[in-house]
Structure 1
Amino acid sequence: VNVYLISRLLEERFVSATQTVEVRYNRDIVLVASLATNIVMACDPAAPREIIDAAIAVVAERVLTRMLPVRAVISPAPLVDALWKRLQSQLDPPTVIRMSQPVYAIAGRFDFPDLKEIRYSTTRDLDLLVPACAAMHTEEVGIDPLERDAPGYRERIRELIEKKRSLIHLADKAIVAKCEFSAVTPEAVQLMGVWTDPRYRRRGLGRALLREVCGHLARKGRSVTLFVNDFNRPAIALYESLGFKRIGVNRALIW
């Protein structure tokens, strides 16, 4: 189940200009794609290869004829490779390629505590949260979003706060650990931006953050998913020690 795509479909139910594409064959959905600046796809694994290739061609045409820039393509590797094969002659090469990003999930951890040290961000935290998110993005991807578009990035962080999709651990008047929700459905939440300030690492703050967030969401009836770079062994070890189970693998192209 792709939490991000389900979240996009739910958000776009009542808007006229959708960024989600459904490709059907014999009335059955064979591929769904979100064509925001981050492109995310999922397909019917039982569909024949030639049908998926034809569906990818439809998505590629939509990408090339729209007005939005492409910031990332994040999906299972075969879909990313097939789409990029059709786009590479028209787009600049990606700045960063993440060949393997394992996807993890956890559910029902009522033994984890509810929010205690961790809380939802408010707009009063914005001036602290923006540089924290930018530091995480720069460390993870190698691109500083504040150099690319500082006002736009600040506004995106503000939107996360207003939608109650940002959680922080505040100490010493600083954000020492934080995470955001990239997607929310009635059954699941996809985490992103799980980060601990380098000055506060090796103190168990990341573990405490995830325990409280997962415990909090379990009490709301939601499972938790996330994906991580395969070379980030400390993060993978942390997730697996908390009980996260690997459920898939993504590939990412980032501009």
Structure 2
Amino acid sequence: MLRTSGVRTLSAADVDDARALCDLDRVHNVFVAARLDEGLLGAGGVAFGLGGSPLRSMVWASANVVPVNLASEDVARYASRLRRGKRRFASLFGPADQTLALWNHLRGSFGEPMSYRPEQPLMLASRSAREKTGVTPDRRVRPARRDDLDALVPAAAAMFTEEIGYRPYVGSDAVYRAGIARLVEQGRTYVVTEGDEIVFKADVGSLASGVAQIQGVWVAPSHRGRGLAAPCMAAVADLVEQAHADTVSLYVNDYNLPALRAYLTAGFERVGTFATVIL
């Protein structure tokens, strides 16, 4: 049997060491850093680690499996620990080399994935790149308000369903709506409206260590093909830099060519590669 000695369950006492590990690469690790800052470790959030203080590596393992600083020689031990827990996960994602190595050890235990996305450009907003492309930010972009929720919830659900392949809730939307409302209250959702309709939206999904990771970017089907996304995303980058973080990032499916073109035009530049396996 493969030895898993050294891989331990992290607790709230490990938060400082876990945060220091994330800050070795604050752009790639912002998702886990944000969950730590939200106080989730030891309060419903599960993570495993190698090492004491400092930690050598870790894997966030709650609804999603997200590796942080995994060396190739550690992957099999983490995979064994994840299998032993017999938990069900929604996805694996993170830096492509670490995520795919981990998945290669886990695939026999978790069956065929719903979606396998090995090449997702990780991009950073650049003011100089925005100046070079000559994009004019769409000044209609603004932080969402509470009175946008009735239009925002179905827009967010439509985006999730298109991206993941199933609806984000079954039955009542109360829990889902509450999560969207929290982002709105934090000033982390941006929209363009025309009348009562949301025609563009984007969220700051993770925020930590001066990095804001954008997710949930969506253009209403009726407004696609009009060149709306690039100027809206340029405006989002400006607003997020002013309100939340000096570094604005996102990652995108490599096959989504319209989105890639829009982000490049909006002044985002590729700095790495993520991968996602949806289970």
Structure 2 residue 54 is matched with structure 1 residue 40: no
Which secondary structure state, in structure 2, belongs to the residue aligned with residue 145 of structure 1?
Answer: coil
RMSD: 2.9
State, as a whole percentage, how many aligned pairs show the same letter.
28
What is the CA-CA distance between 1:224 and the residue it aligns to?
0.8
**How far does the alpha carbon of each residue in 1:93-118 deviate from its partner, in whole angstroms, 9 at most, with x for none?**
32222222111112456968888411
Which secondary structure state, in structure 2, belongs to the residue aligned with residue 128 of structure 1?
Answer: helix
Structure 2 residue 242 is matched with structure 1 residue 222: no
**How far does the alpha carbon of each residue in 1:169-191 deviate from its partner, in whole angstroms, 9 at most, with x for none?**
11132000000111012411000
Which range is displaced more, 245-254 or 172-181? 245-254
Task: Give TM-score, length-normalised by structure 2.
Answer: 0.76
- 1 CA distance for matches of 2:80 and 2:275? 19
Structure 2 residue 155 is matched with structure 1 residue 132: yes
Which secondary structure state, in structure 1, belongs to the residue aligned with residue 110 of structure 2?
Answer: coil
Q: Which residue of 2 aligns with 1:205?
A: 228
Task: Give TM-score, length-normalised by structure 1.
Answer: 0.82
- 2 CA distance for matches of 1:212 and 1:134? 23
Instruction: Indicate how the Cα distance of structure 1 residues 78 and 149 shifts in structure 2: closer, same or farther if over 3 A, else same.
Output: farther
- 2 CA distance for matches of 1:71 and 1:215? 32
Which secondary structure state, in structure 2, belongs to the residue aligned with residue 19 of structure 1?
Answer: coil
Which range is displaced more, 165-174 or 114-123? 114-123
**Contact 2:153/2:177 (8 A) holds in 1:** yes
- 2 CA distance for matches of 1:26 and 1:143? 40
- 2 CA distance for matches of 1:182 and 1:31? 23
Q: Which residue of 1 aligns with 2:36?
A: 9
What is the CA-CA distance between 1:211 and the residue it aligns to?
1.3
Unpaired runs of 5+ in structure 2?
Answer: 1-24
Q: Which residue of 1 aligns with 2:10?
A: none
Letter of the structure 2 residue corresponding to residue 74 of structure 1? F
Corresponding residue to 2:267 among 214, 230, 243 = 243
**How far does the alpha carbon of each residue in 1:200-254 deviate from its partner, in whole angstroms, 9 at most, with x for none?**
1233321222111111223345211111111011111121223212111122121
Instruction: Indicate how the Cα distance of structure 1 residues 12 and 238 shifts in structure 2: closer, same or farther if over 3 A, else same.
Output: same
Structure 2 residue 57 is matched with structure 1 residue 31: yes
- 2 CA distance for matches of 1:25 and 1:186? 23
What is the CA-CA distance between 1:148 and the residue it aligns to?
7.5
Instruction: Indicate how the Cα distance of structure 1 residues 191 and 251 shifts in structure 2: closer, same or farther if over 3 A, else same.
Output: same
What is the CA-CA distance between 1:157 and the residue it aligns to?
1.9
Unpaired runs of 5+ in structure 1?
Answer: none
- 2 CA distance for matches of 1:26 and 1:52? 18
Q: Which residue of 1 aligns with 2:218?
A: 195
**Contact 1:107/1:222 (8 A) holds in 2:** no
**Contact 1:7/1:184 (8 A) holds in 2:** yes
Q: How many residues align?
A: 247
What is the CA-CA distance between 1:88 and the residue it aligns to?
3.8
